[in-house]
Structure 1
């Protein structure tokens, strides 16, 4: 009888013991494997939407550096003494008057044309597998009814709607993973300025826990960490709760923005932004990683961006291929208007990506970086692989045979093309003969993928 009781106690306590495996230190937190779904997904949509979507302005063509062209930094820039700050302030005074405060934009953020199901459909048709919404940017305005942001959230003022909740429901209903961006710091919050510890304990951590328990996201994407080390933000304490006790402890993914020296060093997946790790060089990383950037020069909607400021569909598809071939994901940003519309040019770019992925998605999703790529570096050719196949991505249509070193192929085809692909295997290498393709049987116009059975 005693043995039976002991076995029952062990059975009951087993989940609890397992749930307490991560301690509040980086060695323990970093030991948690990234959930496989994230590395399989490859392509996600970032959404920057907030009060900054009302003025929706930044000097897109000015020589002021990458970060100063972000429209979502509008409030900070109009108060900044710099070249960029003067441009923002001059525009603000001219358009709204010197006495117009940033807070006055809140009732103008109405989202009256917003349809979350339409957004989710656009993202799904684009081939995205996950979505990350700015639940709160550095302005501190939350897109959900946060108790810590009374009268400074989308339910109390402006749209009078739980934007996080409504989009989360629509995205999950579409079969996609839902995540939230969250800024650790707030530019002008008096509590943050005057009592950091109280801000962290009574404002920041309660907000993050509320987001997690209320909406159960698959990603928590933090930012605004650079003012203080992770110890001041109590990041490892929060992450221990997230990994041990939260309702999403098994599947949630986090990034690396948890303190002034954590990018590319600590956290879940590592991040680059417009190919930079903060102000350092970016590029491929050994750990799971993700490049984030806008379709244009800004994350938030910038109404003065024109065609020259936007990446072409061809360039965006090439970027997706390059990042995935390097072992990473691409988190591509859209900046909606304040009334809730995704600009048509952004929709068009997403539609083109989706059309390409409909044909070539198997060469992107659930693939990994190919170790043999280093010995086969060729301009405009990239590689991904899975257990059985090597995928050869040609971002320009090749005019010469493709020679693959270290590859013994048993079959070769081109995704979306029904014709036969000739190849020759000699020793431990394979030569692919590029077919003559006509407009009638061309599988696409942006990039072409050879599927090589190993």
Structure 2
């Protein structure tokens, strides 16, 4: 009997192991549950930094994609209408003979201090970081064997940027991830034999990045150039989920082929409220998702941007509230200068967000979308999240007002985060009525949005 029991236990163990492995196809890969830490985190910092941070320029155009300074090389080479202003600027500033590759030796990062960056990110209230390990220019911020003489150790800073920042970020308790461009504009193999490029360059780089630094996030981009089959995405993700050192904790986005956005991945992505040409301002996914955007119009640092191009702290906090209330995360970008400084205005915005989160973070972190939230309140600047048995009303209008909330049943206590005086409220036939008082500047719980906490045993 004991032998039969042991055999049964062994077979059960083998069956469980087999069930936990993911086959290299979307049907199997999509069954992997997104690790809960990602949905709990809610707020992350994107960092775009590379050779493009030397010219650091793009025109202040109406088209948001034209304002991306990290596309500088592509714009001056392609000769498109969008590139005319880039090329004019390039010739005026650097001369007719200047090549983009010349900027690499000027990307010195002499003032880069990973500990200072990590401290700032921690104080911002962010829970994870995503660094551009390689953008479409192909320059890597680690000593990649596939990018000899086109990486931050062989030229420019002569430093392992990915390694230094990873160590510093993890010391603060934040999670570390990497952006990685699947394609490269001018890599010889990519332009002549994409299959060899994937096999000999892209896949080895991705595996090296994963094994060397063990990132919790792999954030790919440039997927639109090829199909997921050409990129061999399913093959890589099968390895990542089954055999990599981060198989239990890693999350990936949805950019793995020209038709994969909003269909596959641990989380879906929007960008400046856009998914290419689709309006996503009111999008609500049942799947985990994330909005990425800059504090101004560019991801890479853009010297052409002025104060009016930067979002205010109030605007950024309201963006965070909006995304989280619809079940998403916010990945907010900073673009350091070529010498390694995060511009002061960006630092200020991050610290302002962190100050707000220090008071109201329980309405953001670990929260979820309130499925029964009344839409009419949202149009009035009232947003909702739920966390355990608590419902939170996030008010972007911090004036005296009467707030009617339908669908809240059996509340036991109502208060305002950061405000130590009682809030007047009573039950109604279909919910609750809350009187938001006129609060003086001295007694204000925080700058910008206020949060009302409703304790109830029926929050969903």
Q: TM-score, normalised by structure 1?
A: 0.96
Is 1:448 equivalent to 2:436 in the alignment? no
Aligned length: 451
Q: How does 1:205-284 map to 2 (within 5 A)?
A: 205-282=203-280, 283-284=283-284
Deviations along 1:101-144, one digit per CA (max 9) or x if unpaired, are 10000110000001001100000100000000000000000000
Q: How does 1:65-144 map to 2 (within 5 A)?
A: 65-144=63-142
Distance in structure 2 (CA, Å) of the matches to 1:18 and 1:285: 27
SS in structure 2 opposite 1:450?
Answer: strand
Q: Is the 8 A contact 1:116 1:170 kept in 2?
A: yes
Give 1:403's aligned residue. 404
Distance in structure 2 (CA, Å) of the matches to 1:336 and 1:15: 47
After alignment, is 309-318 or 7-16 more displaced? Answer: 7-16
Is there any run of 5+ residues in structure 1 with no aligned partner, and where? Answer: none
Q: Kindly state the Cα deviation for residue 339 of structure 1 after the two structures are TM-superposed.
A: 0.6
After alignment, is 278-287 or 25-34 more displaced? Answer: 278-287
Q: Is the 8 A contact 1:376 1:404 kept in 2?
A: no
Q: Kindly state the Cα deviation for residue 15 of structure 1 after the two structures are TM-superposed.
A: 7.5
Q: Is the 8 A contact 2:399 2:438 kept in 1?
A: no
Distance in structure 2 (CA, Å) of the matches to 1:435 and 1:47: 40
Give 1:362's aligned residue. 362
Give 1:417's aligned residue. 419
Distance in structure 1 (CA, Å) of the matches to 2:275 and 2:188: 29
Distance in structure 2 (CA, Å) of the matches to 1:310 and 1:373: 31
Q: Kindly state the Cα deviation for residue 376 of structure 1 after the two structures are TM-superposed.
A: 4.3
Is 1:327 equivalent to 2:308 in the alignment? no
Deviations along 1:146-197, one digit per CA (max 9) or x if unpaired, are 0000110000000000000110011111100000000000000010011111
Distance in structure 2 (CA, Å) of the matches to 1:48 and 1:423: 47
Distance in structure 2 (CA, Å) of the matches to 1:15 and 1:106: 50
Q: Is the 8 A contact 1:376 1:405 kept in 2?
A: no
Q: Kindly state the Cα deviation for residue 426 of structure 1 after the two structures are TM-superposed.
A: 2.3
Distance in structure 2 (CA, Å) of the matches to 1:102 and 1:195: 23
Is there any run of 5+ residues in structure 2 with no aligned partner, and where? Answer: none
SS in structure 1 opposite 2:290?
Answer: strand
SS in structure 1 opposite 2:372?
Answer: helix
Give 2:290's aligned residue. 290
Q: Kindly state the Cα deviation for residue 16 of structure 1 after the two structures are TM-superposed.
A: 4.8
Q: Kindly state the Cα deviation for residue 279 of structure 1 after the two structures are TM-superposed.
A: 2.4
SS in structure 1 opposite 2:322?
Answer: helix
Q: TM-score, normalised by structure 2?
A: 0.95
Give 1:24's aligned residue. 24
Q: Is the 8 A contact 2:400 2:438 kept in 1?
A: no
SS in structure 1 opposite 2:316?
Answer: helix
Is 1:201 equivalent to 2:199 in the alignment? yes
SS in structure 1 opposite 2:225?
Answer: coil
Deviations along 1:401-422, one digit per CA (max 9) or x if unpaired, are 1001111222110000000001
Q: Kindly state the Cα deviation for residue 265 of structure 1 after the two structures are TM-superposed.
A: 1.2
SS in structure 2 opposite 1:168?
Answer: helix
Runs of 4+ in 1 over 6 A off after TM superposition: none
2:439 to 424, 437, 440: 437
Distance in structure 2 (CA, Å) of the matches to 1:199 and 1:5: 49
SS in structure 1 opposite 2:315?
Answer: helix
Give 1:341's aligned residue. 341
